Structure 1
Amino acid sequence: MTDHAHKPSVSQAEAEAAVRTLIQWAGDNPDREGLLETPKRVAKSYRELFQGYEVEPREYLEKTFEEVGGYDELVVLKNIRFVSFCEHHMLPVVGVAHVGYLPTDRVVGISKLARVVRGFARRLQIQEKMTSDIAHAIQDVLRPHGVGVVIEAEHSCMTMRGVDVPGASLSTSCLLGSVREDPRTREEFLRLVRG
């Protein structure tokens, strides 16, 4: 656990009691056979789904490799699947992130890019902030020439309630440095993401 990570101030028993209350509020009996273990299961699943509060995603980027053989082109990892939760309704946001950067003199293991996405996704989020957080973490730690992040996701708070538009998805992007400023680099990044 790091200084930036969050230690829950609510006990397991308190979390389970809250789930029991929600079951009752929904109109069911939490003492019914099929629901007896539900509070424990929900609390356990929430611990896993919100594990982003227990990590500092930037730390995944600290181990780098400088032996890159002169490589100076874009590095793009596409289709990083994630599940997050809308901070307004606590309903799932399911999507993919495409992450790229133009290295200076070092690169990071590609699994670390996926871990950064997961670290930010496994929190209550809005997609726009998550996109920016991922891009700025890579820019701040790796100090590349530029960073590009594109996220495409379906928000359950919109597709299964409220306006109820199944299949609608939201796309967000954050482009920094040369990926934003140099038209050729920007176009190459976007072409690689689409391709």
Structure 2
Amino acid sequence: MAVDRERLEQLTRELLEAIGEDPGRPGLTQTPSRVAELYAELFAGVGEDPAVHLSRTISVADGPAPDTLPSGAVLMRGIRFRSVCEHHLLPFAGVAHLAYLPGEQVVGLGSLVKVVETLAARPQVQERLGEQIADAVAANLDARGVLVVMDAVHGCVTLRGGRQPDASTVTVAVRGELAEPAARAEIIALIGAAA
């Protein structure tokens, strides 16, 4: 479903009027179209299937001799993301760290970024976002285990309520073999290791 930009522009004009502003004044005349463009970008993942990005896999067993299967994890650290909290429609942003234990098939690393971006580009809560990323990778790759660690700063914490500008939220989602405490601890240690 595409974002209805015309409706967003009208609603933005109404919002400006509701807070006592004049949407016709020089500084605000372009605001409705800018907000519509912004929302189209922020919510581009609504209705999109993240599995599409995991459909092109690469066989690691059919490479140069000696043929082998991976025995360890693939870990991508520091995937920057931004989303919008569904409770207050305020932004939250941070980094996702995504690890999986591949079977015979792996996926291009850019595909992992696209999964994170697709799922983040919709009204979200961080706790669900990490679980959805883990589910998408577990369900669509030949993965023996998945671990997703997310660390984000939330506008609803920094801009309103308690106003804690330095507070961040960390969530963890695990599937399969990486749910085992030792395997999980090893990956979390690698996430924290210096690059």
**Fold shared by both chains (TM-score > 0.5):** yes
Distance 2:192 2:70 in 1: 23
Which residue pairs with 2:147 in the alignment?
Answer: 148
Q: Which runs of 5+ in 1 are unaligned?
A: 1-5
Which residue pairs with 2:97 in the alignment?
Answer: 98
Report the number of matched residues. 187
Which residue pairs with 2:64 in the alignment?
Answer: none
Establish whether residue 18 from structure 1 lines up as the match of residue 18 from structure 2. no
Shift in Å, 1:184: 2.9
How do 1:13-162 residues align onto structure 2 when only pairs under 5 Å count?
13-68=6-61, 69-162=68-161
Matched to 1:52, the amino acid is G
Shift in Å, 1:83: 0.7
Which residue pairs with 1:3 in the alignment?
Answer: none
Q: Deviations over 1:97-137 (max 9, x none)?
A: 00000011111000000000000001000000000000011
Shift in Å, 1:143: 3.0
Shift in Å, 1:164: 1.1
Matched to 1:169, the amino acid is S
- SS of residue paired to 2:45: helix
Distance 1:26 1:143 in 2: 52
Matched to 1:176, the amino acid is R
Q: Deviations over 1:4-25 (max 9, x none)?
A: xx344xx422211100011112
Q: Which runs of 5+ in 2 are unaligned?
A: 62-67
- SS of residue paired to 1:53: coil
Matched to 2:31, the amino acid is T
Distance 1:40 1:89 in 2: 21
Shift in Å, 1:45: 1.1
- TM-score, normalised by the number of residues in structure 2: 0.92
- SS of residue paired to 1:137: helix
Considering only aligned residues, what root-mean-square deviation do their CA atoms show, in Å? Answer: 1.2
Q: Deviations over 1:53-100 (max 9, x none)?
A: 152111101111113543221000011001100000000001100000
- TM-score, normalised by the number of residues in structure 1: 0.92
